[in-house]
Amino acid sequence: MASIWNISILLLLVFGAANAESNVNQEAKKPIQTFRPYNVAHRGACGEIPEETTAAYLRAIEIGADFIETDILASKDGQLVCFHDVILDDTTDVKNRTEFSNRQRTYEVQGVNVTGYFVVDFTLEELKSLKVKQRFSFRDQQYNGKYSIITFEEYITIALTADRTVGIYPEIKNPVHINEHVKWSNGKKFEDIFVETLQKYGYKGTYLSESWLKQPIFIQSFAPTSLVYISNQTDSPKVFLIDDVSIPTQDTNQSYAEITSDGYFSYISQYVVGIGPWKDTIVPPKNNYLTTPTDLVARAHAHNLQVHPYTFRNENSYLHFDFHQDPYQEYDYWINQIGVDGLFTDFTGSFHLYQEHTSPYPKDSKTSDDLLRKIEKMISHYENA
C-alpha cells in the first residue's frame, strides 16, 4: 500500500516530467504517441491557414498533429519544394505577375492535358517570389498574400525544431512528370534527391525502431515503382497511396482493382508498411449516404498493412448524411467501426480533440513510462473538468 508520501513524490516526478516538455533537447522530447491512430495533418492545418506553409505546419503542431504531411515537387533548377498541384494557378498569385505572363504551358500529366503555370518551369528563386493563398473560398482568407512556398528542407526543419516529437509524412509527388521535366547531375532522379534530403537530416530506421521513434517518418507515393526503387536506399517506412477506382497508377498503369487485390498486397507488403486509399473507395457513398463498407481494410490488415485514408474535412459539403454534419461523428465511425490506423485530415485540431476525449491514454500500461504518462493524463483531465 503506497502511502500519501510516496504518492506525493511520484506526483512531483510526474509534474517534473510534464514541465520538461519545454526542453528542446531531442533526447528529452515528449515522444510520438503510438497507441492510437495517427493524426496526420494533411498539408498542415490547411483548414485554417493556406496549405503547405510554415504557418500551417506550425499551427498543426500547436494543435496536436502526430505527423505533418506534405507533397514534394521540384523546381526548374532541381530544388525540392512543398507544393501540391503541378500548376501554380489555384493557390498562388502567379497569374497577377506580369514578369511571368509568358510562362503558361500545356503539358500532359497522367494522361490529361493540363494548362497553367507549371512548378517545373520556375526556378526556386522565382517560386519563392510568389505569395500563396487559401485554396478554398469557404475557408478563412485572412492570410492570403502573406506566405511563400517553402522547400523540403525548411519543412523538415519545422518538424525537427518542434518542442515535442513530430513526424513527417512527405509524398514523392508526380514523379513521372517531375523526372520528365527536371534533370539532376550524375544521372540522379527525383527519388534519389528526395531520399538524400531525408538522409541528410538523419531520417532512418524501420517502423517503430529506436531511430524511427526519434524522427518518425512515412514516405508516401501513388507510384509504386518509386517506392520499390527507394527501398534499396532507405529502410524508412513507406505508404502506398491509392487513388479513386477509375484512376490507374501513373507509372505502371495498373487499375484500382489490380493494386487492391490480395495478390498485389502480398507483393507490395514487402516494400510498404501501409496503404493510403481515398476514403470513398473504402466505404462507397451513394446520394451522400454511406453504403456497405468494402473489405479493403480487413484484407490490408490481413497483410499487415496499415490503412491511412484521405481526406477528412469538417465542412458539411464533405460529410455524408450519416454523420449529420458532425465531423466528430465521422472520426468516430472511421476509428471505431472501420478501424483505420491513421487518417489524413485538414482539421488536425478537431481530430486531436476527438482523440483526447475518447482515448486520452493507452488502456493497458506496460512500462513504468506508460504508467506515469497515464497518471499525468488523469491529473490534467481532472484539472480540466
Partner 1 sequence: MASSRWYIVYVILFIQLFSTGVRGARSYHPLSSQSYNHAKQPLQTFRPYNIAHRGSNGEIPEETTAAYLRAIEEGADFIETDILSSKDGVLICFHDVILDDTTDVGNYTKFANRKRTYEVQGQNITGYFVVDFTIEELKSLRVKQRYPFRDQQYNWKFSIITFEEFISIGLDAKRTVGIYPEIKNPVFINQHVKWANGKRFEDIFVETLKKYGYKGSYMSRNWLKQPLFIQSFAPTSLIYISNLTHSPKILLIDDVTVPTQDTNQSYWEITSDSYLQFISSYVVGIGPWKDTIVPVVNNYLTTPTDLVARAHAHNLQVHPYTYRNENQFLHFDFHQDPYAEYAYWIHKIRVDGLFTDFTGSLHWYQEWTSPVKDVKSADALLRKISGMISSYEEP
State the residues that interact with partner 1 by CB under 8 A: 1-2, 4, 6-7, 10-11, 47-48, 138-140, 142, 289, 314-317, 321, 324-329, 347, 349-350, 353, 357-358, 365-368, 371, 374-375, 378-379, 382, 384-385
Cα dist from 313 to 62, 241, 317, 347, 348, whole Å:
19, 18, 9, 6, 9
Smaller CB distance to partner 1: residue 48 or 71? 48
In one-letter notation, the amino acid at residue 220 is: Q
- Terminal Cα-to-Cα distance of the chain (whole angstroms): 28
Contact 276, 242 (CB under 8 A): yes
Give the residue with the Cβ less far from partner 1, 32 or 379.
379
Contact 71, 82 (CB under 8 A): yes
- CA–CA distance from 350 to each of 170, 190, 323, 357 (Å)? 22, 35, 15, 11
Considering the complex, state which of residue 96 and residue 288 has its C-beta at the smaller distance from partner 1. Answer: 288
Cell of 323: 454523420
**Residue pair 220/214 in contact by the 8 Å Cβ criterion:** no
> Minimum distance between the CB of residue 47 and partner 1, rounded to whole angstroms?
6
- Minimum CB distance to partner 1, residue 7 (Å): 5
Q: Which helix (H) or strand (E) holds 57?
A: helix 54-62
**Residues facing 169 on adjacent strands:** 69
Nearer to partner 1 by C-beta: 4 or 112?
Answer: 4
Q: How open is the CA angle 70-168-253, to the nearest 5 degrees?
A: 50
- In the complex, the smallest distance separating the C-beta of residue 61 from partner 1, rounded to whole angstroms, is 16
Q: Which CB, 111 or 382, lies closer to partner 1?
A: 382
CB nearer to partner 1: pick between 266 and 325: 325
In angstroms, give the least distance from the CB of 362 to partner 1: 13
Q: Closest approach of Cβ 382 to partner 1, in Å?
A: 5
